[in-house]
Chains A and B, each alone.
Chain A
Amino acid sequence: MTLYTLLSCLIEGFGNKETKSSQAVLGTNLYNAFFNLLKRDLRLAFRHKSEILNPLFFFVIVVTLFPLGISPEKQVLAEIGPGIIWVAALLASMLSLDSLFRSDFEDGTLELMLLSEYPLPILILAKIVAHWLITGFPIIIFSPLLGTVMFLSNEAIETLMITLLLGTPILSLIGAIGMALVVALKRGGMLLSLLVLPLYIPVLIFSSNAVGSSMAGLSISGQLYFLAAFLIFCLTLAPIATSAALRVSLE
């Protein structure tokens, strides 16, 4: 039984349609596998809305804690705001990584993916894209609100959104490697942060610096170029490392 039959069972099952014949299954290509897996993950997330909402709430709450803990003054918050919003985004993305592989690992879907005829990195990429759409994208939508609360200027909020757009996919991609390494462990949560957070540092440095620079009216193209380059780099290599790690974890 290929992955595709399994997925089409799942997807068509939700739509109450008949399952496709095996003839059609054999005729499908990688492109379909990618998008079907993506659709399936998104559909699952929309069935469990907490998977989408919880990282977002976490993100908002963490940012709210800082004015309470430090000072509500405009000057202070505008100074530390970019860093805080980015650290909160980092933590929200990391804590949501569990949903990337955990349930699929527990019900055996992941094992079927490993056995399927399609190249694993492409399937992994579909899951990572879905994870980003579920956890990273809502953060981007909500970031202007938090930027306003932290007294960032309009240009800075614009930059914040661009850096989040370039940076959060990197977090999902790198996080997937770490998650794949700890997925088979019972208490992987703490370990995951130890593995993943050091690798997030370049993203944090360049993103929050870009937002701070645009507050000061400086050019930010250098930082954005770096983020874009790092995104491409991770996009090409992270799925491969993730599949290697998954093969070790599921041995």
Chain B
Amino acid sequence: MMKAIMKFIYQFASPKHFYRLSGKIIPWFAWLAAILLIAGSIDGLFIAPVDYQQGDSYRIIFIHVPAAWMSMFIYMVMATSGAIALIWKIKLADVIASSSAPIGAAFTFLALVTGSIWGKPMWGAWWVWDARLTSELILLFLYLGYMALESAIEDPRAAARACAILAIVGVINIPIIHYSVEWWNTLHQGATVTKLDKPSIHISMLIPLLLMALGFKLYYAAVVLMRARNKVLVTEQNNRWVKEIIG
């Protein structure tokens, strides 16, 4: 049974299959992402009620929070696919990990910038050494280290394996760093999205937030697949199926 599953996975993860399948999936992801992002933006910017404390400036959370979620999610994806590549030697996982890194770094940067823009009217300063902003900044450093290591090692196979180890070490350390920074200092309002404890976000604000979050995820999926397709073409350029496509 296990053997059959692994065989299926290996077949699915073969560059040729991946290229064909991802070509079919990408438009779906991209269109869905576009629809969700437009709907979420309209809902978030015009329909959702004004916050009684923060006025209209809270609306930046519809970008900030999904971007921050994505920044952590993508690092998890990188570490997971790095582990898959190390354990089962699936080349495609390496491709996904290295295609994800710049996107993750971009989302982290976006979360930092929107956080600081939000902070200007709220805290009266562009930057506050608040716990979550600081851990986001450290996460950006982790992404930059990953990308720097990848570009420093010439052999792509060795670079991918070294980066996989770095991502796994990083992902183990992220919670430790996060909680030590949190313990160090916090000015940021507590997380309000979980519905379990109060104060929590109102449903009229939660819906656009979730729409945006899903839109961001699908956008990431579409972009990472596009990047991965390009990388697959480059690494497999001497194979016949690639030559047939390129002509």
Query: Which of the four size classes fits the interface of chain B?
Result: 20 to 34
Query: Which chain B residues (163-209) contact chain A, with CB distance < 8 Å?
Result: 165-166, 168-170, 172-173, 176-177, 180-181, 183-184
Partner of B181, one of A184, A201, A230: A201
**Which B residues are CB-close (under 8 A) to A191?**
145, 148-149, 152
Near B by CB (< 8 A), chain A positions 201-251 give 201-202, 205-206, 209, 226, 230, 237, 241, 244-245, 248-249, 251
Which A residues are in CB contact (< 8 Å) with B149? 181-182, 191, 195
Asked if residues A194 and B141 are in contact (CB atoms below 8 Å), the reply is: yes
Complex Cα gap A206–B176 (Å): 11
Interface residues as binary, B151-170 with A (CB distance below 8 Å gives 1, 0 otherwise): 01100001001100110111
| Interface pair B161/A248, CB less than 8 Å apart | yes
Q: Which residues of B contact A251 (CB under 8 A)?
A: 158, 161
Does A65 count as interface, using CB distance less than 8 angstroms?
Answer: no
Residue numbers in A under 8 Å from B169 (CB-CB): 177, 199, 241
Whether a CB of chain A sits under 8 angstroms from the CB of B47 is no
B184: A residues at CB distance < 8 A: 205, 209
Q: Find B158's partner among A177, A187, A198, A248 (CB 8 Å cutoff).
A: A248
Give the distance in Å from the alpha carbon of A181 to the alpha carbon of B160 in the complex: 11
**Chain A residues closer than 8 Å to B170, beta-carbon distance:** 199
The reply to whether B165 and A248 form a contact with Cβ atoms under 8 Å apart is yes
Q: Verify if B144 is at the interface (C-beta below 8 Å from A).
A: yes
Whether the pair A181, B138 counts as a contact (CB closer than 8 A) is no
List A contacts of B152 (CB < 8 A): 182, 185, 187-188, 191
> Contacts A209-B184, A241-B169 known; A202 to B176 CB distance under 8 Å?
yes
**Selected A-B contacts with CB under 8 Å, 20 pairs:** A181-B149, A181-B162, A182-B149, A184-B153, A191-B152, A194-B141, A194-B148, A195-B145, A198-B138, A198-B142, A198-B177, A199-B173, A202-B176, A202-B180, A205-B183, A205-B184, A209-B184, A237-B172, A244-B86, A248-B162
